[in-house]
Structure 1
Amino acid sequence: MLLAYFTVTFKDIKIHPDTSKSRARKLKAKKNTVSTYLIGQIGKNKSIPDNPIDLEKILADVYVVIKQAQALIGGRVIILECENNERLIRLYESQGFQTLAVAQDPEDENPLVTMFISIK
């Protein structure tokens, strides 16, 4: 029985040119580009009554996988992209994620919010 799932990949992102120098330094940005681990999907199986899995537990498993990858290929930042939904943003902020301004496609009618957390 599948309780939850996630996907992780490695992705270069372009941060917005107006990002503060201190934040760019913290992210180890080079020419406004940051190499990151991207949590592509994250979800909980809601068809299971009283599913004990929550976001904190899923992220704990995500961090284990990323730590293993980090030992092999490096990297210092994890990002995720979510809908511009205040409830969802607050949920990820409660887990330590912060919003990050990235270069957006001006033709994108529903741009996603990019959030990040540094790997400890």
Structure 2
Amino acid sequence: MGLQIVPLLNLLKSDSTEEEIKSLLFSFECNSVLSGASDVEHFLHNKAVQFEKMDLARTYLVFANYQSKPYVAGYFSISNKPLVIPKKQFKTFSTSLKKSLMGLGHKTEQNNYEIKGYLIGQLGKSYSDISIKAKQASGKDILALAYDKLREVYAIAGGRILFVECEDHKKLKDFYNQNGFRELEDYDSPNNLCLFVKMLKDI
């Protein structure tokens, strides 16, 4: 398939001008029909560079080629972020789920439960004209590339879980369910989003 990952940080450290980088990022277009897609597009267009400079997240562009021309086929962003679950919600989980989540977790001073892990903050494939014609990358392909990066981090620094948040949209929820994530149905996200988790050892 020939997909290639290029860290946004590398572009920012290269000789590329800010205008050239912005032009590249704005070549990514998401599916406006799908709920939540605008957030994926907005992040890459308007927040990714700032998050990179502030070390809040690392964004990786996925490139492919069509008729010998490279283009952005998708991207994903990862951040080192613990999952914090309020005590009253944690109590509703099954014993087996509590045990799997809390293998490396601990209670905070507020009696919440904090689980060390990583957040896939954004993940999306491009629906630009060239991407649609090329059909080089699926959402599953991009997730697999994200897993490659997370395995490297897991081997170096450990951690317990990988988690993602998404809108309550059947297509999105089916995607994560089909890729081995488990929805924490009793978790009330501060952003009113659905929460899916996966053990890092299983990626």
Same fold by TM-score greater than 0.5: yes
Which has the larger strand fraction? Answer: 1
What does residue range 18-97 of structure 1 map to in structure 2 within 5 Å? 18-27=92-101, 28=103, 29-31=105-107, 32-47=113-128, 48=131, 49-97=133-181
Two-structure CA RMSD over aligned residues (Å):
1.6
Mean alpha-carbon deviation: is it higher for 56-65 or for 95-104? 95-104
Q: TM-score, length-normalised on structure 2? A: 0.53
**Following TM superposition, where does structure 1 have runs of at least 4 consecutive aligned residues deviating by more than 6 angstroms?**
none
Which among 73, 76, 93 is matched to residue 6 of structure 1? 76
| Residue of structure 1 equivalent to 2:193 | 112
State the percentage of identical aligned residues: 28
Shift of the alpha carbon at 1:42? Answer: 0.5
Give the deviation of 1:103 after TM superposition.
4.9
Which protein is bigger by CA-based radius of gyration?
2
Q: Is the 8 A contact 2:189 2:195 kept in 1?
A: no
Helix, strand or coil for the counterpart of 2:152?
A: helix
Structure 2: where are the runs of 5+ without partners? 1-70, 108-112
Determine which of 187, 191, 194 is the counterpart of 1:102: 187
Shift of 1:30: 2.3
Q: Which has the higher contact order (CA 8 A, sep 6+)?
A: 1
Aligned residues: 116
Structure 1: 5+ residue runs without aligned partners? none
